[in-house]
Structures are given as structure tokens and as C-alpha cells.
Amino acid sequence: MSHSNKWLARAFAGLVVAALPVAPAAADVVVAASGPSAKTYPVGRKIGATDKIVLQAGDTVTVLGANGTRVLRGSGTYVLANAAINDRSNAYALITRQRSAQRMRTGAVRDVNAGPVTRPNLWYVDVRQAGPMCIADTSEVRLWRPVTAGEQLYAIGMDSKTASSKANFNDGDMITVWDLSQAPITDGSTYVIAGGDGKPSEITFRVLDAVPEDAEGLAAALIEKGCMAQLDVLSSALAQAE
């Protein structure tokens, strides 16, 4: 190939590369907001890495994205690209792992001074938590309680008076099996969990078609389905990993 032809080939290749579409950068997601600017930055709003976030005194905005879970407080202008990049892949994998039930005994309980105990897996059904509950796998569902001491029996039914299934926690266990043969779960199905020491919890299940590979995508999916309690669990788990 002559020198001129080589030059033309390189030039053509450069034009082809330049014409290829550029993949948009992943946007961070607002997962909590309070204060005067909460309406400007509502939960679910996506913010680019170079976008300016202008806050007023008394504002608190929590953003989940590739740079970690950031809590922005007080008056000022913030740019997410200025955040240090953290590796949260391990924490994300642990909190979203789809696995068989494991016996969690006394060692899983935190010190009482360390704050409230939260479920160690996003897909465990918290017996205390009413409202929407997102599920990734309807073929294997687990119930979770925040204590290990003592036996507890829960009734599961379409209402608080009729039980179609029962779930028993043995002494020392935080996890037990949801009997899907008696209480099958589909998208939109609603059940009342009654028993233990608390009031009945009405849960409406939302089934995810797929679990996003990144935390930002999952946060957006949880927000879309209304699974705000799980959004809090995800945000807290990733924040602790930083």
C-alpha cells in the first residue's frame, strides 16, 4: 500500500471512530432529601457527575452513585465528580446476593448501643416492615426478624384474620422460610404478617424482572417500584462500606 493510501486509510478509520455514538455517563440517583431544596432534588432525580447541586441552609441530600453514597449538607454548591471513587462491589454483592437461607445465630446481633439492627440481605422480608417489598426471585423467599432470642410464630394471610400459612423462628434464628406452596408470591400480591411482639404488617410484593448489575440501577428500580425501605437498606450498606 502506498504512503498516500495508508494515510487515507488512517484518516477514514479516525472518521469512523469519531462517528461512533458515545455511551452516556451513568448518572447518580438521589435517594433521600430534606430541607428547603427537597423539591428541587426529589428522590429518584438523576444527577450527572459534573452537574452543580446548589443547596441552602438546612438542606440534606443523599446521592447514591459510582463515587459512593454521599450525604450533602448545608448551604453550598457541590459537584459529584469531585468525590473520591470507592470500591463498593463487595458490599453490593453481599447485600443483593440471592442465596439459600442461612442460620444466623447470636453473633449476628449488634451491640444495643450500635443502633438498630437491619436485615443483612436486601431480599429478606422484614416481619416489621409494611408497604411495598421488591423481590428478585419468587421461587425462594425468606422472612427475617431483628432478634435471635426465643421462638416466634407468625401467621401469613390475605388479611389479619385469615392465615393461609405459618412461619416459625426457632430460638437463635433470624431467618426462616416463607412457605410458597401455601402463600405464593406474584407481582402485586398482598399479605398480612401477624405475630411476634409487633402489630400486623401488610406487605405488597413487587417482582423485579432482573437485578441491575450496579447500585445506581438498582436504586432507580426500587424507587420506581416504591420499595423505599429497601432503598434505605441499600444506601446504608453501601455507606458503611466506604
Which pLDDT score is estimated for 1?
55
Most confident of 71-75, 98-102, 114-118: 71-75
Which pLDDT score is estimated for 108?
41
Average pLDDT over residues 107-135: 76
What pTM value is reported for the model? 0.70
Average pLDDT over residues 43-62: 90
**Structural domain spans, the chain:** 97-210
Between 149 and 5, the higher pLDDT residue: 149
**Per-residue pLDDT for 3 more than 90?**
no
What per-residue string of b and e applies to 35-52 under the rule 16 or more CB within 10 Å gives b?
bebbebbebebebebeee
CB 61 within 8 A of CB 41: yes
Q: What is the 3-state secondary structure (H, E, C) of the chain?
A: CCHHHHHHHHHHHHHHHHHCCCCCCCCEEEEEEECCCCCCCCCCCEECCCCEEEECCCCEEEEEECCEEEEEECCEEEEHHHCCCCCCHHHHHHHCCCCCCCCCCHHHCCCHHHCCCCCCCCCCEECCCCEEEEECCCCCCEEECCCCCCCEEEEEECCCCCCCEEEEECCCCCEEECCCCCCCCCCCCEEEEEECCEEEEEEEEEECCCCCCCHHHHHHHHHHHCCHHHHHHHHHHHHHCC
**Per-residue pLDDT for 81 more than 70?**
yes
Which pLDDT score is estimated for 106?
34
Tell me which fold the domain 97-210 belongs to: Immunoglobulin-like (2.60.40)
Average per-residue pLDDT in the chain? 80
Alpha-carbon distance of 187 to 211, in angstroms, equals 15
Q: What would the pLDDT profile of 195-241 be if each residue is shown by its tens digit?
A: 877 789 999 999 999 998 888 899 999 999 999 999 999 988 887 76
Q: What would the pLDDT profile of 97-113 be if each residue is shown by its tens digit?
A: 876 544 444 334 343 34
Which pLDDT score is estimated for 21?
43
